[in-house]
Amino acid sequence: MDQLSPIHGGHYSHDLLLHEGDDELLEGTRAFVEQGLASGGKVLVHGTPERVAMMRSSLDSHPRLDFGLDRDLYTSPSSTLFAYQRMLAESPEPVELWATGTVPLGDDPAGHPAWARYESAVNASLRPYAFHGLCTYDTRTLPAATIAAAKATHPCLSTGGRRTLSPDYQDPADFLANPVAAVPDPPVARPVAMATLGSPMDLSGARHLLKASAESSSALARDTIDAFVSAVNEVLVNGLEHGGTRVSLTVWAEMSRLTCLVTDTGPGNTDPLSGYGYPASAGPRGLWMARQLCEDIFISDQPGAGCRVLLTTV
Amino acid sequence: MGSLRGTGIAGDEAVQRGQLQVFSAGDRRVYDQAWQMSLLDEALADGFPAVRWSAEADTAWSVLPRALHADIEWATDDLCHTRPVSVLCQYPAALQETTMETVCAMHTDGLRGSLVRTSPIPGGMAIAGEVDGTNAGMVHSALAAQSAATTGGVTTFVVELSGLDFLDLAGARALVTGTAAHRAAGGVVCLRAARPPVDRLLRLLGVDRFDGFRVEGA
Provide the CATH number for the domain around residue A264: 3.30.565.10
Chain center to CA of A65: 25
Q: Which residues contact A278 (CB under 8 A, 6 or more apart)?
A: A85, A86, A89, A125, A128, A288
As a dihedral over the C-alpha atoms of residue A86, residue A92, residue A96, residue A102, rounded to 10 degrees, the angle is -30
Beta carbons within 10 angstroms of residue B91's beta carbon: 18
Give the burial string for A204-241 (b: 16+ CB within 10 Å, else e).
Answer: bebbebbbebbeebbebeeebbbbbbbbbbbbbbbbbe
**Phi, psi angle pair for B121, to nearest 5°:** -130, 165
Measured between beta carbons, which residues in chain A are less than 8 angstroms from residue B168?
Answer: 230, 233-234, 237
Q: In Å, how far is B12's CA from the nearest CA of chain A?
A: 32
**Phi, psi angle pair for A310, to nearest 5°:** -110, 125
Does the structure show a pLDDT above 80 at A50? Answer: yes
Q: Does B119 touch chain A (CB under 8 A)?
A: no
Beta carbons within 10 angstroms of residue A91's beta carbon: 11
Strands (E), chain B: 51-56, 85-90, 111-112, 116-121, 124-131, 156-160, 164-167, 188-192, 213-216
On average, the pLDDT of chain B sits at 89
Nearest-CB residue to A226 (from B115, B134, B197)? B197
As a dihedral over the C-alpha atoms of residue A45, residue A46, residue A52, residue A56, rounded to 10 degrees, the angle is 10
Residues B105, B212, single domain; the answer is yes
**What is the C-alpha to C-alpha distance for residues A48 and A54, in angstroms, rounded to an integer?**
10
Total domains in the fold of chain A:
2
The β-bridge partners of B87 are B53
- Helices and strands (H, E) in chain A, number of each type: 10, 13
Residues A31, A177, single domain; the answer is yes
For chain B, how are helix, strand and coil distributed in percent, rounded to 5?
45, 20, 30
pLDDT attached to residue A1:
47
Which of these three, B54, B73, B90, is where a domain ends?
B90
- Its domain, for residue B19, covers 1-90
Measured between beta carbons, which residues in chain A are less than 8 angstroms from residue B173?
Answer: none
- Its domain, for residue A76, covers 3-181
Total domains in the fold of chain B:
2
Residues A134, A245, single domain; the answer is no
Q: Please answer whether residues A263 and A245 qualify as being in contact, where contact means their C-beta atoms are separated by less than 8 angstroms.
A: no
pLDDT attached to residue B33:
84
Interaxial angle between packed helices B136-151 and B169-178, expressed in degrees from 0 to 180 and rounded to the nearest 10: 20
ipTM for the predicted complex comes to 0.89
The pTM assigned to this predicted structure is 0.90
Beta carbons within 10 angstroms of residue B218's beta carbon: 9
Q: Please answer whether residues B189 and B179 qualify as being in contact, where contact means their C-beta atoms are separated by less than 8 angstroms.
A: yes
Q: Which helix (H) or strand (E) holds A272?
A: none
Q: How confident is the model at residue A242 (pLDDT cuts 50, 70, 90)?
A: confident
Beta carbons within 10 angstroms of residue A299's beta carbon: 20
Q: What percent of chain B has pLDDT over 70?
A: 98
CATH code where residue B151 lies: 3.30.750.24
Q: Please answer whether residues A301 and A270 qualify as being in contact, where contact means their C-beta atoms are separated by less than 8 angstroms.
A: yes
Residues A148, A269, single domain; the answer is no
Does the structure show a pLDDT above 90 at A116? Answer: yes
Strands (E), chain A: 3-4, 13-19, 42-47, 65-69, 97-101, 131-138, 156-159, 162-165, 193-197, 247-254, 257-264, 296-301, 307-312
Does the structure show a pLDDT above 80 at A4? Answer: no
| Segment B101-121, tens digit of pLDDT | 888 888 888 888 889 999 999
The β-bridge partners of A101 are A135
Does the structure show a pLDDT above 70 at A171? Answer: yes
Q: In Å, how far is A180's CA from the nearest CA of chain B?
A: 31
Q: What percent of chain A has pLDDT over 70?
A: 99
Q: Which residues contact A242 (CB under 8 A, 6 or more apart)?
A: A264, A266, A307
Residues A157, A215, single domain; the answer is no
Measured between beta carbons, which residues in chain A are less than 8 angstroms from residue B132?
Answer: 200, 203-204, 233, 237
Q: Does B93 touch chain A (CB under 8 A)?
A: no
Q: Please answer whether residues B186 and B150 qualify as being in contact, where contact means their C-beta atoms are separated by less than 8 angstroms.
A: no
Q: Which residues contact B149 (CB under 8 A, 6 or more apart)?
A: B105
**What is the C-alpha to C-alpha distance for residues A258 and A268, in angstroms, rounded to an integer?**
25
Which of these three, B63, B90, B117, is where a domain ends?
B90
- On whether residue A143 sits in a domain, the answer given is yes
Q: Does A233 touch chain B (CB under 8 A)?
A: yes
| Segment A210-240, tens digit of pLDDT | 999 999 999 999 999 999 999 999 999 999 9
Does the structure show a pLDDT above 50 at A120? Answer: yes
Residues B22, B41, single domain; the answer is yes
**Phi, psi angle pair for A311, to nearest 5°:** -120, 140
Averaged pLDDT for residues A279-283: 87
**What is the C-alpha to C-alpha distance for residues A299 and A274, in angstroms, rounded to an integer?**
8
Q: In Å, how far is A98's CA from the nearest CA of chain B?
A: 25
Averaged pLDDT for residues A32-56: 96
Residues B119, B63, single domain; the answer is no
Interface contact B204-A237, CB threshold 8 A: no
Does the structure show a pLDDT above 70 at A2? Answer: no
Give the burial string for A39-70 (b: 16+ CB within 10 Å, else e).
Answer: bebbbbbbbeeebbebbeeebeeeeebebeeb
